[in-house]
Amino acid sequence: MERLFIRHKMIRNQKITISVIGSHEAKGKVAALAYKVGKAVAQEGAVLVCGGLGGVMTFCAKGAKENGGTTIGILPGKEKSDANPFIDIALPTSMGYSRNCMVACCADIVIALPGSEGTNSEICYGLVFKRPVIDLGNWKIDGMIKVKTFLEAKMKMKQLIKAIKQKRSKE
């Protein structure tokens, strides 16, 4: 019987995934920023990953969805119905905050907006997993890619996407 072996590193055809992380409560400038980040992710053809609930997660997913993007919500509970209305693929984990590890690990790029302890844990997981983490939340954590404006973050995201695609094409 013939066996089919697929090389582990062969990921050329996979879409870029960008995890957007931030507060479970967002309004005003932070909500507008999250929407713009989600829109930019969609415009680059990447898949948006987030925690799938409210706040930054809702606004970034809305920005991506309204601009033709695909959204994945990695949920802390066990019900798909917990996802915000802009999530295409709801992945319940029943893991609570432990799901933050998954949000960071599945990303090719992490974009961190303002938040608190949960966001901080996702940043740290992103850095542990050697993912580029763009700092749009004034986090001041060593290892993050510091940017001052949304436009600077968007430019950095584009550069990283290009570099990831080039690396994948050589594998």
Yes or no: say if 25 and 170 are a contact pair by the CB < 8 Å rule. Answer: no
Give the pLDDT confidence score for residue 169 in this predicted structure: 87
Indicate the SS3 state at residue 111: strand
Q: What is the largest CA-CA distance in the chain?
A: 61
Distance (Å, whole) CA 167 – CA 105: 18
Give the pLDDT confidence score for residue 2 in this predicted structure: 47
Element at 59 (helix H, strand E): helix 56-65
**Averaged confidence pLDDT in the chain:** 93
pTM: 0.92
Sequence spans of domains, the chain: 17-165
The segments of the chain whose pLDDT lies below 70 read 1-12
Distance (Å, whole) CA 159 – CA 112: 17
Fold for the domain defined by 17-165: Rossmann fold (3.40.50)
Q: Residues with Cβ < 8 Å from 135, sequence gap 6 or more? A: 112, 141, 144, 145, 146, 147
Give the pLDDT confidence score for residue 12 in this predicted structure: 64
pLDDT tens, residue by residue, 132-167? 999 999 999 999 999 999 999 999 999 999 999 999
**Which among 141, 166, 136, 138 has a CA at the least distance from the CA of 152?**
136
Give the pLDDT confidence score for residue 171 in this predicted structure: 75
115 backbone dihedrals φ, ψ, rounded to 5°? -170, -155
